[in-house]
Amino acid sequence: MPHIKINNTDIYYEDSAPDEQQKPVMLFAHGLLWNTRLFKNQVEHFKDDYRCIAFDFRGQGKSQITKDGYDMDTLADDAIELLNTLNVDSCHYVGLSMGGFVGQRVAIKRPDLLNTLTLIDTSADAEDLENVPGYKKLLMAIRLLGMKRVSKKVMPIMFGATFLADKTQKAARKEWLSVLQTNRKGGVVKATTGVIERKGILDQLGHITTPTLIIVGDEDVATPYSKAERMHFGIKSSKLAVIKGSGHTSTVEAPDAVNKVMSKFLASQSQSQS
């Protein structure tokens, strides 16, 4: 799959149907420490009806590690420029966690580019002050020891108790732990700093006019239900869905439930526009 030059950065992306211009586009933006694989179940589910494009944010996955540009506004500009460079006039944006931070900013900056906005396990708040010391401590450990040594400590942040305790998910846990361990230290430090230092945009949510679906796992400890509810109250006519038995990575922990909720939402929007 290709890289593309966006804002002086080589961005890696995957496109399920690059030659099919008639299909509606679904753009997938991953969470911190992940990559395009985060949405493999969603791409598989939707690719017959949508042109699914997933990309790695700068510094993560297979995209270039740059000196700067890890604040959420610059990452939103990257997503916008990706669509422009691929000649995509509009899309259904799907963002999880950090991808959701970025998606809200895209919706505010360029509402003309979005048909719908799906926000999964994310927030419009700044990082909680009580979390910052712990994350900075984690960053220091990554700098000193590397991602592999600290990856197991990250798992309870990323996944809910049900997934972590489920014996049938042992192979999946091993797979996603391995994905965490592939992160490059320099990119992780820069991207995590961008997330920790992000500004809240709760007061700007009234500017979002895109039809919006908010999904949250009921075991999400990183961006819990209260944060999803604040987005729901802030974004006019948004829909809110809770995924039972899922933590901060619902696309992996409960892919069928997420796909079902998304399909129902997209179908309702299609009907309202027809």
Q: Give tens-digit pLDDT for 60-96.
A: 999 999 999 999 999 999 999 999 999 999 999 999 9
Other CB atoms closer than 10 Å to residue 122's CB: what's the count?
28
What are residue 237's phi and psi, to 5 degrees?
65, 20
What are residue 116's phi and psi, to 5 degrees?
-145, 165
Which residue type sits at 148?
K
What are residue 233's phi and psi, to 5 degrees?
-70, -30
What are residue 52's phi and psi, to 5 degrees?
-95, 120
Q: What share of the chain is helix, strand, coil (3-state, %, to 5)?
A: 50, 15, 35
| Dihedral angle sign, alpha carbons of residues 194, 197, 202, 203 | negative
Q: In what order do the strands lie in the sheet with 9-15?
A: 3-6, 9-15, 51-55, 25-29, 91-96, 114-120, 212-217, 239-243
Where are the strands (E) in the chain, listed by range? 3-6, 9-15, 25-29, 51-55, 91-96, 114-120, 212-217, 239-243
Whole-model pTM: value is 0.97
Under 8 Å CB-to-CB from 256, ≥6 apart: which residues? none
Domains of the chain: 3-273 (3.40.50.1820)
Percent of the chain exceeding pLDDT 90 equals 88
- Rounded CA gap, 72 and 233, in Å? 22
* Per-residue pLDDT tens listing for the chain (274 residues): 699 999 999 999 999 999 988 999 999 999 999 999 999 999 999 999 999 999 999 999 999 999 999 999 999 999 999 999 999 999 999 999 999 999 999 999 999 999 999 999 999 999 998 888 888 888 888 888 888 888 999 999 999 999 999 999 999 999 999 999 999 999 999 999 999 999 999 999 999 999 999 999 999 999 999 999 999 999 999 999 999 999 999 999 999 999 999 999 999 997 777 5
- Rounded CA gap, 101 and 116, in Å? 15
Q: Do 55 and 32 touch, CB atoms closer than 8 A?
A: no
- Rounded CA gap, 231 and 234, in Å? 5
